[in-house]
Structure 1
């Protein structure tokens, strides 16, 4: 009997050993101190069967936390989000906690404003979550209506304060976000500020998505950067940890296995951070110091142009001087790389510099606001009205603040009440619509709409206000609502107004023709889904309506019978409004090419600026010049007849708007970093 019992015990223990060995072979991090799962780019409900299977896998694994890093849905609709929350409820029911940030697909076409949290009145969808000794910091890089990423000044302050607290509390911070912000990949304009921050605080790991790939990784500024694959393609990422290291695992649904990508030591690595310039404004010289025993190679880039690239292994020099460094508008955005064995240091500086006296554009004044300027500024009553994403509204005269006030976050453009400009209209994403006296900032009238206000178009006696998916016709004199029309999708862009008629695009797939008396008189079909004219302000020449679509087309349509006059395809112009000048129209592509067509569809010229453009559209500055801003912080000054152009670096941020003023050759430039500048052609 005893022998039989011992035999059964041995068989049982053998089974347990073999079973455990198999489980640990399949899930190799179960012996670690803890683990979390990170999913990016779900694009729900596209390929939902794959994502649902990953959710089931999470139920088996039971991670301490699940983090979702944006592009949760395909187009950000309520229907899609409802389906996602229903699918992810299996985690709730099993007691598995999750947090999320947003991606461009969640906010790019959504008429619902998705950001639920605020930092100093600026909307974000961020988080911080402590798991064991790790602090997971989720950063919101999404920008409403845009594909590109932006972190924002207030969120950067929050990140720095969170990193400081983590150091005091001896927590190990890990940064999660959707858009790559630096290191091996970058889809932001202000990620460089966070890159500099990483040199001051110990952050062992950054995970980001957007690229649907694990191909981009590396050690930058003492942090391991890893792009992660898309959940819709069957991938999820596991971060496990023990006392010595973090371990990054790739899980593939296709092969049902975990692959170790990288183990990141939790013991801080000694890296050389001494890579700093000095600049002499007088003669435009820059000196760069670098330790040749620590760096194999250095590179310096100023305003997008390489100034210096030097191998250090055969030199004992520690300082390199670059002479005659001048800039067009007095701004030198310097990017320095130091390449060492096993890591790269990437440090950024904004420096004042000697001005190129031969530059055609001259800076008149500059002013810094709290946050990004997505709202188009307006020249009115001898000054400039400008509003930022924090809801700060300013009246500037000669670049100096006359008054300042606070409302809800502002995205919509600002509209003057009349030619005299004694008052103006402004709306916020909380649905508040204001009439404000220009000279004093006094609120004269106010109404509340049920939806976020995204755009305001100026008629003679009325306004057409785009709020959510609706177009409100509102009487100027008393802010009475004359009509409300469901435009079947996000109303993002200004309407074109002419002869008492608004031509309003929407992401519902049409251009809606609305009379000032509130009647919806017609609709012109422009496509569906992604491929519509939703991001475009159209234009009319004679009986022809011209618009762009995200299906890479410029289209001319006869307003009488709605037949297409012409169509130009295979140019990525979908985020450009149409600017008309005499019998010509101008549009721009996401890749940075500006096109001039005559009204019959003949291409007159195209000018490739060499920089991406997603916020700004071409604007006629004079009979001789066209202007446009780029995502690289440049102003392109284009000859309106020939298409020849010059580029001028204006700031280290996306140019969101260029607005010609009544003063010949003078224009306003607004940026995503909150700066606004007055620039003109010619001498100061």
Structure 2
């Protein structure tokens, strides 16, 4: 069978995505050479890879992927990372950057601005652009040249993989973005909205498929013609025209941007939404819904309300049910459509709180996102950010005590026993001890790999110590000066927090095992296998790689994975009880009533630590990752990933308080001191809230 010729134009390039190269999956590695050989034959100006190059960012996977790319294409393939490159990356994306360079970036090619974006988040599943990257985009796209963007996560069209995609829409509203290529969903779709055409591509892990893009003139206007190409085992190709993307004019849907938007009556259980259609675009329909904040890194069709046109005016109006919304900040999502094009946007609105509710007292902002737990001591709360800022605030009034710039911080800091020193982990390989009063450095230690775990401050023998993991090594350091006491091979990546009972140190690992080490020497005492998965990728996903290990009464230690939680005998490593609750991400909290176990799906239960017997269960109804409960005034406070703060009675499981703190996702365990609860989110916002009496 002969290979069909591809029409030559003024610019030709290819798009591929979701290769998921893994030497343990040879079928995928048979597809990729076929794809790249076909692309090479047609001699593109460049190739765009929209991410998920590998399964989990291991060197062996990158090597396997690169072995399938012909040498003549190596310098022409431009990459952006996917969530699989960074979610479990022990290298904190350093290996990716060494191989492919940093993102975002822009290149000018034959009258196009080609921009690679990176909204992935280290240690997290969904995406987030963040203010810094959006400022970069606004400052680097020229107004006069058509822009082609590529990234891993798709935008709009029922996709909620990017928590701040509405901020992206606002950023590019006046910029010449005409085409967006994305992956992640492993499905081929075309969506025209907000002035550009988005193509999501089928996954190369499942089929020998890629996309061929040619610029040419159609009816006197420049366009990009996109063709789906599938490559058979014998190298022959089948081609199907997918879409044509205009490069000039206003772009599909841009003129549909609404004018005024009025949201009234949220306090009465129904919000009256009135939308003024834009003057320059004839709106055929307008829909509204409460932004589905509960949808976390996924797709959802939503609960849209069709707004009705008001007479012959440009106004559309309708009622949206908000009766089940908690008090606090929300978003109304709007879609204006006409002739196959759409404009998407959001507007903020608030559901007022009743008397005696939580009240926001103060706010502060750090560069980047706050992912790690907040540290608290004597009324002072410390937050660290992925932007490399660490700051201390008075919990009562938000007054900033000090601010220090370090490397990117992804996990929480820890106070020493006397409260004089704060130990901070960072992705620049360093563990830094700061004076708790001034923020001045006391000592720092280069651990040779990104420090992506929460430090444990403990005592080993008679020595005050810090136990932390970096790379695949667990290290015990003297708290006084950072000197090494011992180190141990963890066998895999560990981003959680170890535990110590004076005799042994306990830690999870991405190799699927839970380990105990001699507290004095670091020698391995025992290993407990938490998963039946055979291959490294599966053992990583289903092992205790991100567990906050907890000591339990009666000589037990609690390990958790995404599937089960295990109470293990500290001396022998034998399982004493286990439950089918994946409580790895949110830390567990011991109370006078029992053990509060929270899983990533928002299921909270009170468990007897001796037997594993459950007293009660409560469904919060939203995802909860990395942020565990804190207890104050007889209430357990849980902040969900969606920004919902819930107050739960530890004795009964009854939810007595609910408040939507804001639109940003939250991964940070709060801190509580006195009458103030402090929370922080991925927008870098730190908030002090007055607890109800």
Paired residue for 1:361, among 358, 363, 373? 358
Aligned with 1:577: secondary structure?
coil
Residue from 254, 260, 266 that aligns with 1:276: 260
**How far did residue 181 of structure 1 move?**
3.6
Partner in structure 2 of residue 538 of structure 1: 549
Once the two structures are TM-superposed, the CA of residue 429 in structure 1 deviates from its matched residue by 1.2
User: How far apart are residue 497 of structure 1 and its match?
Assistant: 3.2
Q: Paired residue for 1:12?
A: none
Q: How many angstroms apart in 2 are the aligned matches of 1:548 and 1:383? A: 31
**Aligned pair in 2 of structure 1 residues 623, 546: CA closer, same or farther (>3 Å)?**
farther
Please give the secondary structure, in 1, of the residue aligned with 2:63.
helix
1:32 alignment partner in structure 2:
9
Q: Which whole-Å CA distance do the structure 1 matches of 2:320 and 2:575 have between them?
A: 56
* Number of the residue aligned with 1:385: 382
Distance 1:615 1:459, change over 3 A: same
1:54 to partner: Cα distance:
1.2
Greater mean alpha carbon deviation, residues 473-482 or residues 292-301: 292-301
Partner of residue 46 from structure 2, selected from 65, 69, 77: 65
1:172 aligns with 2:109: no
Provide the residue aligned with 1:601 in structure 2. 612
Q: Is the 8 A contact 2:472 2:489 kept in 1?
A: yes
From 463, 466, 470, the equivalent of 1:463 is 466
Structure 2 matches for 1:124-143, cutoff 5 A?
Answer: 125-143=103-121
> Which protein shows a greater Rg?
1
Aligned residue runs from structure 1 range 499-518, under 5 A: 499=502, 501-518=504-521
- 2:526–2:573 CA contact under 8 A, matched in 1: no
1:675 Cα deviation (Å)?
Answer: 0.5
**1:483-523 deviation line (CA, Å, top 9, x unaligned):** 11121111201112334543211212222223443423333
Return the offset for 1:72.
0.8
How does 1:31-430 map onto structure 2 within 5 Å?
Answer: 31-45=8-22, 46=25, 47-88=28-69, 90=70, 92-93=71-72, 97-115=76-94, 125-163=103-141, 165=142, 167=143, 170-214=144-188, 216-234=189-207, 235-243=209-217, 244-254=222-232, 256-268=237-249, 269=251, 271-278=255-262, 288-291=274-277, 293-301=282-290, 304=293, 309-313=305-309, 315-316=311-312, 318=315, 320=317, 331-350=329-348, 353=350, 355-358=352-355, 360-397=357-394, 398-419=397-418, 421-430=419-428
- Tell me if structure 2 keeps the 8 A contact 1:275–1:347: no
SS in 2 for 1:189: coil
Gaps of 5+ in 2: 295-301, 532-538
Contact 2:83 2:126 in 1 (8 A): yes
- Superposition deviation, residue 533 in structure 1: 1.0
Q: What stretches of structure 1 move > 6 A for 4+ residues in a row?
A: 279-287, 305-308, 321-329
Residues 109 and 388 of structure 1, relative CA distance in 2, 3 Å threshold: same
Paired residues, what number?
643
Please identify, of 98-107 and 180-189, the stretch whose mean Cα deviation from structure 2 is larger: 180-189
The verdict on how the C-alpha distance between 1:583 and 1:637 changes in structure 2, with shifts beyond 3 A counting, is: closer
- Partners of 2:381 and 2:671 within 8 A in 1: no
Distance in 1 (alpha carbons) for counterparts of 2:390 and 2:96: 21
Q: Following the alignment from structure 2 to structure 1, what is the Cα–Cα distance between the partners of residues 201 and 320? A: 42
Q: How many angstroms apart in 2 are the aligned matches of 1:83 and 1:249?
A: 27
Q: Does the C-alpha gap of structure 1 residues 184 and 474 become closer, same or farther in structure 2, counting only changes over 3 Å?
A: same
Q: TM-score, normalised by structure 2?
A: 0.85
Q: TM-score under structure 1 normalisation?
A: 0.86
CA contact (8 A) 2:379 2:674 kept: no
Give the deviation of 1:626 after TM superposition.
2.5
Is the CA contact 2:586–2:625 (under 8 Å) kept in the aligned structure 1?
Answer: yes
